[in-house]
Chain A
Amino acid sequence: MADTTHIAGGHAPTNTVAATAYNPVVSVDVPPGTPLAPTDDGDAAVPARAIPSAAFRCAGLASAAGAANGRVVVQPAGVLTLETAQWDAITAQSGGLTKGRPYYLSAGVAGKITRIKPSDSGEVVAEIGIALSSRDLLIRVSDPIPN
């Protein structure tokens, strides 16, 4: 997104709720934009995948790269801005995101998002967000629904 300061005002809002940050430990290297799901193993998260046998309850997207066995900050909502090449690594597209279109958690590969809504039985539909440009995704994670 471009210039915002003149509209947003010169200071941060003071009446907002300070939520606890979600920065779990990941077991594998994750690039920025990776959809992550919490596991039942303490404070860990893994790349999410839209099938019931995998971790499909996505909590948000990695806002930066994370190294295996280290912590990564997960962005659960709002606009996430990445380079087009970084999005391409997550979407398997080229040229970045497709603006105006929704993105879903991939059923085929863990840690990916896709423009194609999962439709097969045995898959779940979990909306992840809406692309505002080739570089900006408005994250809005929905509760997954089985097909």
Chain B
Amino acid sequence: MTDTSHTFGGRSPTNTVTATPYNPIAGEDFPRGTPVAQSLDADHTVVRAQARLSEMPYVTGLSAGVGVSGERTLVQSTGVLSLPTSVWDQVTGGSGGLEQGSTYYVDPDDAGILTSTQPAGFDDVQVAPVGIALSPQDMMIQITFPRDAS
């Protein structure tokens, strides 16, 4: 950019965008690390995502806190999310935490579950990547829009 030096010098930039914080209301209970999507029924409310067009495939982020129905929770939509391996195991159904180097996807069959197996199939199954495991505890969140699996 060309006009930034005079605004950046020696202090915080003043011409950047301040996005609205994102800490929606949990529409149901869910553990940390859960992929969530905006509810179709209530503003600023998230529910567990599921990778089917007939469900809620449009992931807005991973829950950084425990979701308690009716209460606000932090949802992280980018960056590294670090959780204990036992917490990731709740979300992946695995053991020992995340598989380092693997891409994780929203599961098409069970809401709120992540899988390292790319979904395949017909009907309304979607491929919805949410991130890459950096270690058993760390997920680099890189959410992309869902695509048809077939």
Contact = CB atoms under 8 A, between A and B. Distances in A.
Given A99-B38, A100-B37, A81 B144 contact: no
Contacts of B3: 23, 43, 71
Contacts of B21: 1, 4, 8, 79
B58 A102 contact: yes
Contact of A78 (B1, B22, B38): B22
B15 interface: yes
B54 interface: no
Nearest to B61: A138
Nearest to B22: A79
Best-buried of B22, B40, B144 by chain A (most CB within 10 Å)? B22
Interface stretch (B71-79, B84-92, B103-111, B116-124): B71-79
Interface residues of B, number: 34
Interface of B is mostly: loop
A99 B58 contact: no
B18 to A, nearest CB: 9
B139 interface: no
Interface of A: 1-4, 7-8, 18-24, 42-43, 63, 71, 73-81, 99-102, 127, 130-134, 136, 138-140, 142
22 contacts: A1-B44, A4-B21, A4-B72, A7-B65, A8-B21, A21-B16, A23-B15, A42-B2, A43-B3, A63-B17, A74-B17, A75-B19, A76-B17, A78-B22, A99-B40, A100-B40, A100-B58, A131-B38, A133-B43, A138-B38, A140-B143, A140-B145
